[in-house]
Each structure stands twice: as C-alpha cells, then as structure tokens.
C-alpha cells in the first residue's frame, strides 16, 4: 500500500501544476481569425478538391448504372441459356 501512495505523489504534483497553469489569464485582444481563402494556394487546392469530388461522384453514378446494366444482361443470358 505504501508504494501506491508514492506512485501517486508525482501524479498529484503534475495535477497541481496543470491547475495553476489553467488559472493564468492572457491579456490583450485576440488576433483576427485567418480565412483559408486569403491564401491563393489554399484557394486553388480547395477548387481542385471540389472538382475532383464532383468528378468522382459522377463516375460512381456511372459505375452504378453500368453494374445494374451488367446484372440485367447476365440475368437475360442465364434465362436464355436454360
């Protein structure tokens, strides 16, 4: 049991330190939040990403249509091969 108390002492010290740090108040005004769109490289990256996502969604829809058509044709072949 005595070793358990010794193990907890450093932990309590750390807890005490973190609580004193939380009490600090940083004065002064907050800086304005930066907009990601104010950086040309970020704006271009977002545009390319949006374009890629749109193209990906269109391709996924096309794949779904082709898969449905493939299944329909397979069923027709199975039906006529009997």
For 5, half-sphere exposure in the C-beta direction (CA atoms, 13 angstrom radius) is: 2
**Tens of each residue's pLDDT in the chain, 82 residues:** 455 555 555 555 555 555 555 566 666 776 677 776 678 898 899 999 999 999 999 999 999 999 999 999 999 999 888 6
Cα–Cα distance measured from residue 25 to residue 51, given in angstroms and rounded to the nearest whole number: 45
Please, are residues 9 and 3 in contact by the beta-carbon 8 Å criterion?
Answer: no
Return phi, psi of residue 32, to 5°: -65, 145
Taking the C-alpha atoms of residue 71 and residue 66, their distance in angstroms, rounded to an integer, is 9
- Residue spans of the domains in the chain: they are 35-82
């Amino acid at each position: 049991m005595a070793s358990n108390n010794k193990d907890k002492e450093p932990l309590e010290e750390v807890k005490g330190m973190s609580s004193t740090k939380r009490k600090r108040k940083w004065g002064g005004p907050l800086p304005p939040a930066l907009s990601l769109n104010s950086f040309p490289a970020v704006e271009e990256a977002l545009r390319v990403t949006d374009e890629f996502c749109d193209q990906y969604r269109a391709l996924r829809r096309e794949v779904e249509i082709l898969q449905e058509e493939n299944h329909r044709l397979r069923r027709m072949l199975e039906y006529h091969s009997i």
